[in-house]
Structure 1
Amino acid sequence: MKIALKIVLFLGLLIFIYGAFVYFSFDAKKFLQTFEQRYSKVLYDKNEELLSVFLNNEEQWHIKAKFIPERLKIAVINYEDKNFYSHYGVDFLALMRAFVSNFNSAQRSGASTLSMQTIKLNTRAKRTYFNKFNEIIQSFALEQAFGKDEILRFYLSNAPYGGNLVGFEAAILFYFNKSAKNLTWSEAALLAILPNQPGLINLEKNKTLLLNKRNALLTKLYERKFIPKDLYELSLKEPLPNFKPRKNIAPHLALKLLDENKKELISSIDKKIQMKFEAKASEFSKSLQQKGILNLGIILADTKTRKVLAYVGSQDFYDIKNLGQINANVAKRSVGSILKPFLYALSMDEGLISSKSILLDVPIFFSNFNPQNANKKYYGLIQADKALQKSLNVPFVSLLQDYGYEKFFYKLRAFIGFEEENFQNYGLSFILGTKEQSLEEMTKLYLGLANYGELADLSFLRDENLSNVKTMFSKGSAYLTLKALKQVQRVGLENFNPNKIISYKTGTSYGRKDAWAMGATPKYTLGVWVGNFSGEANANLYGVSIAGDLLFELLGLLDDVEVDFTLPNDLINIKLDSVTKYRYDETLGGAYINALYPKDAKILQTSPYLRKIYEFNGKEVDSKDENFKEAKAVVRLDLPLYALNFLYQENIKLQSRKNLKILYPKNDLKVILAKDFDGKKGLVIRIANLKNEKVFWYLNQKLIYEGNKNNQILNLDKGKYTLLIIGEESGDNDEIEFEVK
């Protein structure tokens, strides 16, 4: 008897020691990591509404619960473990009842508490008495490490719900397609019984048995006073759901943000706006496809916070045929003219222009570069704000030359952080979009403009602060730029709601491969790209009539866009000469006007196109002339000869000090000529001849032409050349040197 007692005591001691070992070997951190590794990647919107979820490594939809709906909590506890909040991990009375029942009956029943089931879900151990013992011990440790509500959340986040659905959030998503906050009693009861019925977890089969079990639980909840009678009767009539396939919302952004280290994120996306924009993108793309245009991208951001509210990476992520899974918003594309507003603002701060200053819009060569306006027309003289509104290429290439293309390149590089360092790869064509950028980068820039020149990184997460805040230009120049862009003509959209105020700019890349539209309001900043991921050109691609149409259709889906930008406190009134609208020069005199100008900008330059002269009987004289004392001082418009040449052709005749000039080639230009079909190299020489007089042309001191033609085609061999032209009547002349390679 003593030996038997000793054996029992020894075995008891071994069991105690083993139990203590199991208890103290429980690692709460490892427990959490085991569950975390199994969860699917999930992206939520700013209100913690689910946007996108992806299959985990086990090909399961396994979603970690953020909170437990009260109805589900009540249903699960009453069905699984009514003493959950009173025991310490094990319900010994239930355990004894189960032992007696299993001993006396062939039908097995369990007594696992929710804590024990949570351990089992974590370890995935087989169902044996030994493993049951381990679960009991570990349940005590679990209860010591975590609170009851946390344990309940672990259980409901990892319980099986049929097929490849794990966790009640996945079940709600695919069975009910609704928010967990709106769970009905009937739905809560179904979710409570499903994990406990492994043989029944299939809503396509055994529906009658599932329905009976659900209703039995509803009855129990009614009897225990959790459900009022009218709601109970309605719940009984609620049909069982079916599996509902779904498409992810904002999938491009989810793939961009989520990785193995970031499996769950709360984004800044507004789910309601995102869904509207995705629907509009899909609808709009159908009309585009009829024109051979297959792809698009959209970004909407809150102007003040820089939080991205909608992110549509393509016409449809699930449009496999047309490469819908490519993210248009990060793809580098030619940006066309949408950088012009930034040169406009920077040039004001540099003192080069006011918003009203006259710019030249005439044919011109910059070395070997001959920019043209998109409509092939020239306006001669045009105000800077009007040139921006019409998106004229020639004035902005000239403005870039004055500002410095190297300086502008590095300014943009500092603003948006591209890696390219060699500004010489782009030169003056940079302002026409030859440097490829992404829609994300352009949206960041326009957000900076909308925030009166204060730039910051785009933010995709709800709970992150602004980063990389810097100043692009003054508040005043930003406001004047926004004011000019507000007046951009809405081609084809004249009847669009005029109360919706937006400052916007469109752009079309060279060869019509990309169409852009960027818009800013005090509430929202919106960016749109339309084109083909293949890079294929399309004659129908225009920023103003394709991307612009989409921009305004999206704008129509938004509220709170009836407010205009307010006047900042750093604008002052300055005097401008009334003719060319540069800083009024007291030494020249004449009429002036008042205009707004940024207080923090450099002093505006005086007009490069006005000159004081002295006239006697309508003829210009200087101090050497005997009639100089009687001469009268007058201010004249003094334009460069290439501009006067264009105006003369338009029958606008202005006085000029000089009448002859070689327009092309430029002095010291190195020209590379391609052979034509005859094997010759033809160089077109162009001159300005304002008096239409007879001109003598000398090439390397040899007369090659005399007459009043303004251009010649010369077939030249490789070498250096000197070209001299002389007017027969005026005696004016011009000379250049150039080299043919």
Structure 2
Amino acid sequence: MFNRLQNYIKKHPKKFVLAGILLVWYYFSLPKPLFDDPTATVLETRTGELLGAKIAKDGQWRFPETDSVPKKFEYCILAFEDQQFYKHFGFNPVSMIEAVSENIKAGKIVRGGSTITQQVIRLARKGKKRTYFEKLIELILATRLELSAAKKEILKLYASNAPFGGNVVGIDMASWRYFGLPSHQLSWSESATLAVLPNAPSLIYPGKNQIRLLHKRNRLLKTLLEQKTIDSLTYQLSISESLPQKPYRLPQETPHLLDRVAHNNTGQRVQTTINNSLQKRVNQLVAQHYTLLRQNEVHNVSVLVLDVNTREVMSYVGNSPTDKEHQKDVDVIRAARSTGSTLKPLLYAAMMDKGELLPEQLVSDVPTVIAGYAPMNYDETFSGAVSASKALARSLNIPAVRLLQQYGLQRFRDELNAFKIKDLKYSADHYGLSLIVGGAEGNLWDLCKTYAGFAGTLNHYENSSSEYFTNEFTEPIIFANEKVDFGKKVQQKPVFGAGSIWLTFESMKKVNRPQGDEAWEFYDSSREIAWKTGTSYGNRDAWAIGASKNYVVGVWIGNADGEGRPELTGLNSAAPLLFDVVNLLPNSNWFPIPYDDLVLAKVCSKSGFLASKECPTKESYIPLNGTKTKPCPYHQLIHLDPNQEYRVNSSCESVDRIIHQPWFVLPPLQAYYFKNKHSDYRSLPPFRSDCRTELLGSMAFIFPKGNSSVYLPKGFDGKTNEVVLKIAHTESEIRVFWYIDDRFIGVTKQFHEMPVQPSPGEHIITVLDEKGNELKKKIEIKE
């Protein structure tokens, strides 16, 4: 045999070379890939539910190759196009002979006789003219395709690239376009309708060719009945179904996430972590709230929902259903916005973690000027002194700024790097103390990631025998095939300890909820959530971010162009939407107490400091480092006369008659504001008139603050008005004498306010009470 082949080659070398060339051509005749047309970017859930799609670059709605051909469509397309598909080797001679015969009789090409394999080749060759030579090429390439691909693969190529009318290509897109369903949910009638379209795609135009399309569909259904693929009842029900009348819109549940994914995954089918059911309901809530918000000319809303345990993105609403004029295409989840008060929990956790603050410790809330910066609370009032927990829950600005100054601006700015908030990229000096009240920028993605890291720290600490993970503040994941990497387990806390985070969350749980939900604690169905609102300067940004054991929900509301609006606040605007979204999620238990990172200590029940011997006490959990804090500075032992009406000392009362009693005493300026909101606050009793004493520290300036500049106000008539100086004194009935530059200007009693109109320039204000206590303040008067 081999010798005979050698002899043949020697006798016919040209034929052998030609045969070899033809074989090589035949082997490499199919392009790889067979189809290189651009495809749409398709976004799905991990179970294959369609979330949205972006049209292909060539303007065609062509999905990436289908994973599998739906069974009903397969039966229909084979019955209509190629009943011998699983038996031939790429072409059907009988069908071809019949087609040639009919074409000769008609004098033109009226029938192709092509198999599905040949049609795949014709589609790949971009529909060249239907000549007999082209048919020969298709036949050869069809046999080559049969040798290189399984029948199922060939069928998938056909279903994915067949034309279905207009710019619709492939069964996946056609089923959504004409029936609003995924292809595997099509009925027999719907599958038959689509099966006849590649043969005549112009029939699908709405309102046209309905009779011809109906005839073709029903004839195919009749064939399926005759083949016993369907029974007579199914046939009758199928032919009674109506044809599609108008195109359906593709689902667009997450358009901004689609844009985000398409940036690096153009033309791909991407499965995400999105929960489609939750996404639809959140979209509905956003649309409802947007309807109300736009009445106040607020046009943009974003919502992000994360699973704490997996860090998967469960819902992603990048913007409200607004219009192009109001930047509907902007993905606000990734936009840099003023953080408002959303960073405050990080400062409180940091200070407790270092043992520089206790959860119920009183912090100062008085008029404050620091290097020319004068922070104000949202309601422009002062509490005098307030517990750290309430200051956080009420989102008070002044205590936060004063605590940041105490903790160290540079120190806190350096620690923020651990949270990888991308838009927080400038130095501490750039932000100043306003960093903690919205002077910095962040985005909803990074802030939700940070809160999720806090929640995850508590969960992991409980589940891992009091250990931490090195990569707790990791990026959330979007893609279904990814898994978050929390890093290694370690004993050392990577940022803040579980105890300080838990105490911070306990304070955040007590934040006053939106109107209508104030009594949440009394309902069994209420959700325990640590949450924080934020409102930027000028009412430009409204934030609300909440964390439970299993979920983090973040909401931002405002205008993408930065326009502020009245009443646009975190509590009024963002919080109601936050709790509407939270109510969609499964309820979960509250975070367990991280006992190993806390200590039960005796604290002063009034001041929240570690208890001194004069304090009324209670037991409370504090961070381990909290034991380093100083004891209560506000309780002092005072000496009273036998009637407990006046303070006395040994200069005016015998020692054996003096009654010693602990007393809660705030500094004068704190006490001035504190007693206005705490009717039970008892000022120090006055000294009996026959006692000698020096009331050091009994007075404090309320206005002016610090060594500051004071502008003389002008009235509507253009005349310069007086400025009012004000002090606080521990004894309300004592007289106070006022001087400017050693010039006496007046005396006050009980209400220590003095209107003055000094000349522009620097002046020394001096106040002297009738017991000789003196206070001085340097001011600069400007017009």
* Number of aligned residues: 719
Quote how far apart the aligned CAs of 1:171 are.
0.7
CA distance in 1 between partners of 2:282 and 2:704 (Å): 51
Q: Distance in 1 between matches of 2:55 and 2:712?
A: 58
1:477 is aligned to 500
Deviations 1:253-276 (A, max 9, x none): 111221364333212212222222
- Give the match's secondary structure for 1:200: helix
Cα distance change, pair 82–580 in 1 and its aligned pair in 2 (3 A): same
- Is the contact between residue 295 and residue 315 of structure 1 (CA under 8 Å) also seen in structure 2? yes
Q: Equivalent residue of 2:379, what SS?
A: coil
Q: Does 1:576 align with 2:603?
A: yes
Q: Once the 2 structures are TM-superposed, how far is the Cα of residue 713 of structure 1 from its aligned partner?
A: 5.8
Deviation digits for residues 498-553 of structure 1 (CA, Å, limit 9, x no counterpart): 51304222222222222222222233322222222232222232322222222233
Counterpart of 1:541 (choices 554, 558, 568) is 568
Confirm whether residue 342 of structure 1 aligns to residue 349 of structure 2.
Answer: no
Q: Distance in 1 between matches of 2:274 and 2:562?
A: 29
2:466 corresponds to: none
Q: Cα distance 1:483–1:626, how it changes in 2: closer, same or farther (>3 A)?
A: closer
Is the 2:163–2:169 contact (alpha carbons within 8 Å) kept by the matching residues of 1? yes
Aligned to 1:433: 438
- For residues 307-350 of structure 1, what are the alpha-carbon distances to aligned partners after superposition, in whole Å with 9 as ceiling and x for unaligned? 22222222216x33543222222222223223222222222212
Given the alignment, which residue of 481, 487, 494 partners 1:463? 481
1:126 Cα offset (Å): 0.9
- Is there any run of 5+ residues in structure 2 with no aligned partner, and where? 1-11, 459-471, 488-492, 685-694
CA distance in 2: counterparts of 1:108 and 1:409, whole angstroms = 78
Taking the TM superposition and a 5 Å limit, the aligned residue runs for 1:172-321 are 172-246=175-249, 248-259=252-263, 261-264=265-268, 265-316=270-321, 319-321=323-325
Counterparts in 2 of 1:631 and 1:657: CA distance versus 1, 3 Å? farther
Helix, strand or coil: the match of 2:386? Answer: strand
Kept after mapping to 2: 8 A contact 1:612/1:633: no
SS of match in other structure, 1:430:
helix
1:583–1:607 contact (8 Å) kept in structure 2: yes
> Which whole-Å CA distance do the structure 2 matches of 1:713 and 1:278 have between them?
59
Moved more, 497-506 or 672-681: 672-681
Query: Structure 1 length as normaliser, TM-score?
Result: 0.86
Contact 2:542-2:556 at 8 Å conserved across structures: yes
| Aligned position for 1:89 | 90
CA contact (8 A) 2:336 2:423 kept: no
Alpha-carbon distance in 2 for matches of 1:604, 1:110: 91
Identity between Structure 1 and Structure 2 (%)? 29
* Alpha-carbon distance in 2 for matches of 1:11, 1:531: 80
Give the conservation status (yes or no) of the 8 Å contact 1:452–1:479. Answer: no
Select which of 579, 582, 587 maps to 1:561: 587
* 2:418–2:495 Cα contact (<8 Å) kept: no
Structure 2 vs 1, CA of residues 461 and 433 (structure 1 numbering), >3 Å: closer, same or farther? same
Amino acid paired to 1:301:
L
CA distance in 2, matches of 1:254, 1:672: 55
Question: In structure 1, how many angstroms separate the alpha carbons of the residues matched to 2:29 and 2:505?
Answer: 63
Aligned to 1:489: 512
Aligned equivalents of 1:537, 1:287: Cα separation in 2? 16
- Contact 2:502 2:593 (8 Å CA) reproduced: yes
Aligned pair in 2 of structure 1 residues 633, 154: CA closer, same or farther (>3 Å)?
Answer: farther
- Paired residue type of 1:694: V
Match of 1:132 in 2: 135
Distance 1:648-1:105 versus aligned 2 partners, 3 A rule:
closer
Does residue 444 of the first structure (1) align with residue 485 of the second (2)?
no
Q: Secondary structure at the match of 2:512?
A: coil
How much is the aligned-residue C-alpha RMSD, in angstroms? 3.7
Work out whether residues 369 and 375 of structure 2, in 8 Å CA contact, stay in contact via their aligned partners in 1: yes
Segment of structure 1 superposing worse, 308-317 or 152-161: 308-317
What pairs with 1:595-634 in structure 2 (closer than 5 Å)? 595-599=620-624, 601=625, 603-607=627-631, 609-610=633-634
For residue 122 of structure 1, what is the amino acid of its counterpart? A
Aligned match of 1:389: 393
> CA separation in 1, counterparts of 2:626 and 2:132?
85
TM-score, scaled to structure 2: 0.82
Unaligned runs of 5+ in 1: 1-8
Letter of the 1:20 counterpart: L
- Measure, in 1, the Cα distance between the counterparts of 2:31 and 2:502: 57
1:636 to partner: Cα distance? 4.9
1:629 CA drift (Å): 12
- Which residue in the other structure is 2:68 paired with? 67
Instruction: Measure, in 1, the Cα distance between the counterparts of 2:211 and 2:570.
Output: 59
Partner of 2:350: helix, strand, or coil?
helix
- Which residue pairs with 2:41 in the alignment? 41
Distance in structure 2 (CA, Å) of the matches to 1:717 and 1:267: 67
1:593 aligned counterpart, secondary structure: strand
Which of 139, 142, 147 is residue 150 of structure 2 equivalent to?
A: 147
- In the alignment, is the contact (CA less than 8 A) between 2:615 and 2:632 conserved in 1? no
Distance in 1 between residues matched to 2:157 and 2:342, nearest whole Å: 51
Aligned to 1:730: 771
- The alpha-carbon deviation at position 352 of structure 1 amounts to 2.4
Indicate yes or no: 2:79 matched with 1:78.
Answer: yes
Letter in 2 for 1:510: Y
Q: Secondary structure at the match of 1:528?
A: strand
Aligned 1:696-711 pairs, distance under 5 A: 696-697=738-739, 699=741, 703=743, 705=745, 707-708=747-748, 709-710=752-753
2:383 match: 379
**Cα 1:716–1:251 shift into 2, 3 Å:** farther
1:172 CA displacement: 0.6
Q: Deviations over 1:154-205 (max 9, x none)?
A: 2211110001111111111111101222111111122221112245343532
**What secondary structure does 2:543 align onto?**
strand
Note if contact 2:704-2:725 (Cα within 8 Å) is conserved in structure 1: yes
Distance 1:629 1:231 in 2: 108
User: What SS does the aligned partner of 1:181 have?
Assistant: helix
What does the per-residue CA deviation read over 1:5-33, in whole Å, with 9 as the maximum and x for residues that have no partner? xxxx999879856643443334664435x
Q: Residue 383 of structure 2 contacts residue 674 of structure 2 at CA under 8 Å; is this kept in 1? A: no
User: Structure 2 vs 1, CA of residues 10 and 79 (structure 1 numbering), >3 Å: closer, same or farther?
Assistant: farther
Cα pair distance change 1:136/1:620, threshold 3 Å: farther
1:121 and 1:402 mapped to 2: Cα distance?
73
Taking the aligned partners of 2:398 and 2:123, their CA distance within structure 1 comes to 70
Secondary structure in 1 aligned to 2:621?
Answer: strand
Instruction: Confirm or deny: 8 A CA contact 1:647 1:653 kept in the other structure.
Output: no
Distance 1:283 1:244, change over 3 A: farther
AA aligned to 1:606 is K
* Secondary structure at 1:499 match in 2: coil
Contact 1:368 1:665 in 2 (8 A): no
Q: Distance in 2 between matches of 1:611 and 1:260?
A: 63
Counterparts of 1:674 and 1:96 in 2: how far apart (Å)? Answer: 106
Report how far residue 582 of structure 1 moved: 1.9
Instruction: Decide which of 112, 123, 127 is 2:114's aligned counterpart.
Output: 112
2:361 is aligned, of 340, 357, 363, to 357
Q: Give the 3 Å change call, closer, same or farther, for CA 148–665 of structure 1 in structure 2.
A: farther
Q: Structure 2: how far apart are the matches of 1:685 and 1:26? A: 95
Counterpart of 1:466, as a letter, is: V
Residue type matched to 2:128 in 1? K
Shift of 1:576: 1.5
**Cα shift at 1:284:** 2.2
Shift of the 727–145 alpha-carbon distance from structure 1 to 2, 3 Å rule, reads farther
User: What is the identity, as a one-letter code, of the residue corresponding to 1:733?
Assistant: E
Which secondary structure does the structure 1 equivalent of 2:332 belong to? coil
Map 1:571-720 onto structure 2 (within 5 A).
571-585=598-612, 588=613, 590-599=615-624, 601=625, 603-607=627-631, 609-610=633-634, 636-637=663-664, 639-647=666-674, 652=681, 654-655=683-684, 657-662=696-701, 687-691=727-731, 692-697=734-739, 699=741, 703=743, 705=745, 707-708=747-748, 709-710=752-753
Alpha-carbon contact 2:189-2:239 (below 8 Å) kept: yes
CA separation of 1:734/1:167 partners in 2, compared to 1, >3 Å: closer, same or farther? same
Measure the CA separation in 1 of the matches of 2:676 and 2:238: 85
- Distance of aligned partners of 1:616 and 1:492 in 2 relative to their CA distance in 1, 3 Å threshold: closer
